[in-house]
Structure formats: C-alpha cells, structure tokens
Structure 1
C-alpha cells in the first residue's frame, strides 16, 4: 500500500526568463503530494558522485543544528523534526571527504526518497542562475556611474506568514509615511534620486544592464580597478511586484516566447540602449545588496552556495537544507543530455513558486552565465527524508 501525503499552498506560473532573485507575488493555489519509492527508481541515482553534494549538505547542517529540536523541519510530518536531522548531520561529518561509496551508503541507509507531485503533475520548470560579473569602483566617475545600493534603514520587510499561515513564505516590503505603511520607492523613483544623499551607494558599476542583471541573479563579483574584487549579495527588496522584461518584449512583438533567454534579452538591450533603459524601468522591483565575505554567494539559508549542488526552491513547500534528487536536462541539448544529481535546497527566488519548481545554481564565469541564461527545462525531483520520521509509512 502506498502512502500519499498532500499539502495546499501558494504558487504561481513561472515568469518568463529572466526571473528575479528575491520577490513575492500573489499566486493561485497548488497542492503538493508525496509518494514514497525505493532508491533504485531514482533516475540516474547510481551514476552520481554523491560525495560532491555532501559538503553542501554539511553547510546546511550548520544552520539546521541551531534550530529548536522540537521545531518541524517542514509542513509534512514525514519531513520530521529538527531532532530527526541532528543525528544525520553528525553522521555526515564522519564520512571521509570525497569518498563516493561512503556518501552513497549514507544517503541510502539514512533517508527515504519521495517523489513530488503538483496536483496531478510530476513535471515542473527548472531554470538556472549564476554569480554575476561586473566592473566597478567605490566612487563614481565618468566610467562608473550606476550605483549598487545598500538596504535603506527605513525599508520594512514584513513576513506575512506571521499573520496568516496561508501566506507562509511570502513577505511584503514598504515604509512608514505618517501613520501609514506604504509601498517603498519604485525602481524609477530610486533611479531618479529618491535615495540620493543617504550614503547608501555600496559600489558603482560601469554598465546599467550589468546592474540590472545583478538584481535578477541576486549576487555577483565586482572587479575593482586594481584587479581585486568584492562580492555583493542580496540584502533586501523594495516590495514592488517584479515585471519580467522578457514578457514585455514578447508582448511588444520584439521576441517570440520560445526565443526568450538571458543572452537574447541582453543582446537586444545592448543594441537598443535608450529603449533598454525605459524597459528596465517597467520593472518596479528593486534589490538592495551587501558586501559579503567567504568562498561563495550566500543563499537564503545563510550558507555559501555550491555550484552544481545548490537549488533554489519555494519555501512555502520545501524546507531549506533538504537533500533533493534532481532529474532534468542540460540546457541547450534539446532534452538529449540528462542533468540528474543530488542537490541541496539552500536558496529561494521570486519566480520559484510551486511544489515542483527549482532554480539551479551554476556558479561563476562565462559558461555558468550561458547555461543559467538558457536553462528552461522540464523536470522533476525527489525529496530525501529521514527514515526516522518515516517509520509509520511503508518501507521497501
């Protein structure tokens, strides 16, 4: 007999690429259903090097272990409590680095896989993101004219889930004006000087399109004039709904839906610089950044992302830190080459909405940018949940 688990939550149809790094918007109802299955039914499971995902999982453990033991890991009982995950984290640290056999045995002996269905659909959309590359300086001049702003002190981000469970995973941003909570300044208002004189400029970059793409990706490296670099990462958002400029280009008849990719959008914007500035202002959403230290960009869980092993998910359905078996296709291969590997849920994203939806972190560099910018693949995933939490359900 098969155990079937269901959860109702909020989700939305995926925005046409490019998609924003951090945003929330109203969404229709979706339902997540879980089905247990054996590891042997995971497509491509034995072909992966599971040891490569283990360091990412251990990073997540550093955050999981700080949570109250009685706290639920997720919305399903079978996801367990934090107390179910602490022994798994301890065992993961005992595995010798790079030992594929030990890593595979660890996951197979301590977890049970569950396929995920959104209502009656197993398949969902999987996109990609990367660490953006920019050129900048700490002060403005004729070259570096476009500021990257720190989060303003008067920006308030409220967790709507604290007011009503049906809004779990959603936030809203704004500011206090008089005795009213009002929307924060829009992109156009900020570009027109709404934040001028407040010393919020973290760094200045040389290209408006690069700055806009940084808002989409959520993190980036800024190469300074002396050749050194700083990393900047997401710090907050102004709370306005994201407008996908890809959709705007399709609506204007400039592009066909099937042709909308990050490289294609960028090429059009570079060829039409004046129109590009107007197009970007259509997106009222605005992202604020902070300088970050460490080996990589920081995801929503607060840990450094691992190229090829970190996945952004919808937190309304999946808890961060969860091991996930991803089964989709490599971008640019027309579905011929599989992308099947163990990843860890460590980030979120505004267009990442629904039970079967993910944003795959490719890392840094030209190849990562190309793959992330062209990834719009159909796929599915499987959750790896603690055996200790699944004892009341059938075993295989």
Structure 2
C-alpha cells in the first residue's frame, strides 16, 4: 500500500506548506529518532478494540517470520524480534471488547514504556493521511479508457544498498542497464512518450489520467470495471525518480494559494485546466508500477493494513511492525459541505513506509476507502505527537 510504497498525498502537502523557521540538521540515525518524553502526555485511545487487535495480529504474523534475535532500534535501546513478539502477544490477549480507554492504556503499559519521536528539522511531527482511491478502468483499451496502468518492466533493476554500507540501511536504488552502466530509469514523461516499448506491461487502462496519478500517489487502490466489478491493485515497483510535488509547483506559479492547497483543490484545478494536465503531472518524474492484489491492501511488511490503525513512517529511523501512539487531529464532514476537525488519539502499528515519508517528523495514517477516507487523506496536514511503545526491559532476578 501506500501501501508498500506509501508515496501518499503527504509529499504534496509537505513541500507545499514548508515553513521558513530555523531548521536543525536532519536526523539520519535511528538511535537519534526516539528520545525521552518531552512533556507529559495522557494516553487515551479513541478507536475500537477489534481494529487494534487486527492491526496487532498483522505485525505479529510478520514478526514471527523474522529471526528471533533480529534487532530493532528504539532510539537508545535495541529490542529483539522475539521480545517485540512476546510483548505484542501478551497485549493482544489483553485487548478485549468493552475496554475503557483508561483500562486499555493500563494494559499497554504493563509491558511497554514510551519514547517520543524527535520530530523533523523544526522539531515537530507532521501528520497526513492516505487511503484507497476508487478509479474507473477497463481491462481492455478503448477510446474512453486510454491511459495504461503498467506492471513492472523486466529491465527495471532494484538494488538494495544496505549490503554496501551501514549508512545505506533500508535504502534502495532503481535503474536500468545502459551497456554495463546502471543509469536512472525513464521519467514519467519518457514513459508516457513510449520508452517502455512493446513490453506488454498493461494491466488495465484508466479512464482519467488524473485519477490514475492520485492512485500512484496513494500507492494502492481499486479499479472499478465497466461491468461494475472491482479489482484491487497495489504498488509493485517505481522508477526510482525523486518525488516532486505538483502542489508546490502550482503554488509557485500562483495557480492555487498556499493556504487553500489540498488534494481536492488540485483535482479541481486540473479538471478546469485539462490542457495543462500532462505538463503538471510530468513535473513529478516519479512513476509507479502496479500489480493485482487478490486480498486486502498491504503495507511494506507484506501484510494487510488496518484503517485508522496502520501508519507509515521512515523505515530507516523507526522500528517496523512496532506499537506506537499518535495524538493529532482529523477532518470530519459536516452538513452543507462543511468540514470540522476533531481530536485523534490512538494506539497504532508502524506497518508501512514510503518515498515521501522521510525523517523523524513524518507520519502518514491509513484511512481505508470511501468518502471519509478521501477527506482525511486530502486535508490532513496537522501537527501532533508520535510516541513509540518500547517493550519493557526484562527484569533481572
């Protein structure tokens, strides 16, 4: 999802709303990403117990497949996969229907202690959202369905850089061979111009290129076919080009005011300016290749993600599969097209990552599908707090 890619709408918002206050050096080491709690925080979960149990079970399935001694860095502490698994198994057994928020927190803290994210360059944490869009598509090209949705090409190389040096942990490089040299893969514009050749990579054809672009941004979604049936697609690979915000481009050009920028505003502007569509979309050279998914949307752990309980963070800095806690706000629809903001505070699982989710001050919350999910994904750009729950150190005799 963003799912295993997790580009998400966050990239547009992050660049489009960047502030000019003095910045510190970015955090690049996981040992620095979590710090002691900066100020007291009362933990209170506003979600339901069943969704939390579901999310925990997905992390547990992934952790059981890891070597028991594999280390996960929680700031100054290193915790093994076995310790994480044991703590989450005990918690899962204690999460029962009807728990009050206070009782849930008490049960969590029986086996976990907390540490806080150090934040981004300005010391804060920015929360955004992502979701599963629904777009119209066809398994065969027609005059109406003409924009190809590609699977990964055979000449695309994915190179893990971690074996070359520790500083490249969780880093990957995408490219292609030009003789004996590895060179960057084709850009979005070059792919649109036919550089993929006759590889027969088309999984389906989209009705609207803008809708497909935002499907790429989310990393996963659902194709609604002409006969009314649906097929889920998810991230398979990318061309490895850096993500460039089209929101920031249109702000710079004066097309959309910074204070009104949102996914909804972008969609509206592109609908009113179809002649500018390719130019604007090509500004983002990043391109996503998809695959069909038979089950639920999955995150970077290869496990299904849970709406409202799965988050995406920087995999280089924060422990994958770990229990976390978020405190921020989310938008809710009101009568007459109005939007209100309500507090969001809950335990979550760190089950996704992505190219635009970089640094110790970025969190993307998965909201699932539907109008409410789209609203949250389009409008969330809220500051807040991110805590990670660390399994308590084993007691010495």
Is the TM-score greater than 0.5? Answer: yes
Kept in 2, the 8 Å contact 1:356–1:380? The answer is: no
| Equivalent position of 1:3 in the other structure | none
| Equivalent position of 1:7 in the other structure | none
| Equivalent position of 1:381 in the other structure | 386
| Equivalent position of 1:370 in the other structure | 375
In the TM superposition, 1:145-184 aligns within 5 A as 145-184=146-185
Gaps of 5+ in 1: 1-13, 20-26
In the TM superposition, 1:209-358 aligns within 5 A as 209-294=210-295, 296-331=296-331, 337-358=342-363
Kept in 1, the 8 Å contact 2:297–2:304? The answer is: yes
Task: Measure, in 2, the Cα distance between the counterparts of 1:59 and 1:133.
Answer: 24
C-alpha deviation, 1:85, in angstroms: 1.7
| Equivalent position of 2:97 in the other structure | 98
Kept in 1, the 8 Å contact 2:238–2:289? The answer is: yes
Shift of the 95–119 alpha-carbon distance from structure 1 to 2, 3 Å rule, reads closer
Q: What do residues 69-106 of structure 1 show as CA deviations (whole Å, max 9, x unaligned)?
A: 11102264534111212322432453465353675454
Q: 1:29 and 2:26 equivalent?
A: yes
Kept in 2, the 8 Å contact 1:131–1:364? The answer is: yes
Partner-residue secondary structure (3-state), 1:161: coil
Shift of the 68–37 alpha-carbon distance from structure 1 to 2, 3 Å rule, reads farther
Kept in 1, the 8 Å contact 2:33–2:318? The answer is: no
Task: Measure, in 2, the Cα distance between the counterparts of 1:37 and 1:243.
Answer: 33
Kept in 2, the 8 Å contact 1:53–1:309? The answer is: yes
Task: Measure, in 2, the Cα distance between the counterparts of 1:350 and 1:274.
Answer: 29
Kept in 2, the 8 Å contact 1:324–1:344? The answer is: yes
| Equivalent position of 2:12 in the other structure | 16
Kept in 1, the 8 Å contact 2:45–2:347? The answer is: no
Kept in 2, the 8 Å contact 1:18–1:246? The answer is: no
C-alpha deviation, 1:191, in angstroms: 0.7
| Equivalent position of 1:10 in the other structure | none
Kept in 1, the 8 Å contact 2:151–2:290? The answer is: yes
Shift of the 82–58 alpha-carbon distance from structure 1 to 2, 3 Å rule, reads same
Task: Measure, in 2, the Cα distance between the counterparts of 1:46 and 1:149.
Answer: 40
C-alpha deviation, 1:348, in angstroms: 0.7
Task: Measure, in 2, the Cα distance between the counterparts of 1:189 and 1:287.
Answer: 13
Kept in 2, the 8 Å contact 1:34–1:116? The answer is: yes
Give the RMSD, CA atoms, in angstroms: 2.6
Task: Measure, in 2, the Cα distance between the counterparts of 1:47 and 1:199.
Answer: 47
| Equivalent position of 1:63 in the other structure | 62
Gaps of 5+ in 2: 1-9, 16-23, 333-337
Shift of the 325–133 alpha-carbon distance from structure 1 to 2, 3 Å rule, reads same
TM-score (norm 1): 0.86
Count of aligned pairs: 368
Task: Measure, in 1, the Cα distance between the counterparts of 2:378 and 2:72.
Answer: 32
**Farther off after superposition, 92-101 or 365-374:** 92-101
C-alpha deviation, 1:266, in angstroms: 0.5
Partner-residue secondary structure (3-state), 2:320: coil
Partner-residue secondary structure (3-state), 1:94: helix
Shift of the 148–344 alpha-carbon distance from structure 1 to 2, 3 Å rule, reads same
Kept in 2, the 8 Å contact 1:146–1:208? The answer is: yes
Kept in 1, the 8 Å contact 2:49–2:96? The answer is: no
Kept in 1, the 8 Å contact 2:45–2:345? The answer is: no
Q: What do residues 204-242 of structure 1 show as CA deviations (whole Å, max 9, x unaligned)?
A: 110000111111000000011111111000011001111
